[in-house]
Amino acid sequence: MHYPMIRVLSAILLIAMIITASCMKSTINHCSESSFPIEFNTSVAEENGDFAELTFKMQMSDCFSHQTLQGIDSQEGVFIYQDSSSHLRYDIGFLAGENVQEGEEGAITENAVDTPFRYLERNDELIFTFPALSANFVLENISLKNEIIDILKTVDIQ
Query: Residues 3, 81: one domain?
Result: no
Task: Kindly state whether residues 25 and 43 are assigned to the same domain.
Answer: no
Say which amino acid occupies 115: T
How do residues 59-102 score in pLDDT, each as one tens digit? 999 999 999 998 777 889 999 999 888 999 999 987 888 899 99
26 and 40: one domain? Answer: no
Contact 136, 92 (CB under 8 A): yes
At 155 the pLDDT is 95
Percent of the chain with pLDDT over 90: 51
Overall domain count for the chain: 2
Residues ≥6 apart with Cβ < 8 Å to 140: 86, 87, 88, 89, 125
Same domain assignment for residues 53 and 104: yes
**One domain for residues 70 and 147:** yes
**Are 21 and 82 members of one domain?**
no
pLDDT at 22 over 50: no
Convert the pLDDT of each residue in 27-59 to its tens digit.
Answer: 334 566 788 898 988 877 777 878 888 899 999
Q: Do 24 and 45 sit in the same domain of this protein?
A: no
Do residues 17 and 69 both lie within one domain?
Answer: no
| pLDDT for 151 beyond 90 | yes
Contact between residue 64 and residue 80 where contact means Cβ atoms under 8 Å apart? yes
Residues 24 and 93 occupy one common structural domain? no
Are 59 and 124 in the same domain? Answer: yes
> Which domain does 17 fall in, by range?
1-30
Q: Which range among 16-20, 26-30, 153-157 has the greatest average pLDDT?
A: 153-157
Task: Please name every residue paired with 87 in a beta bridge, in sequence order, or none if there are none.
Answer: 80
124: left (phi over 0), alpha (psi -120 to 50) or beta: left
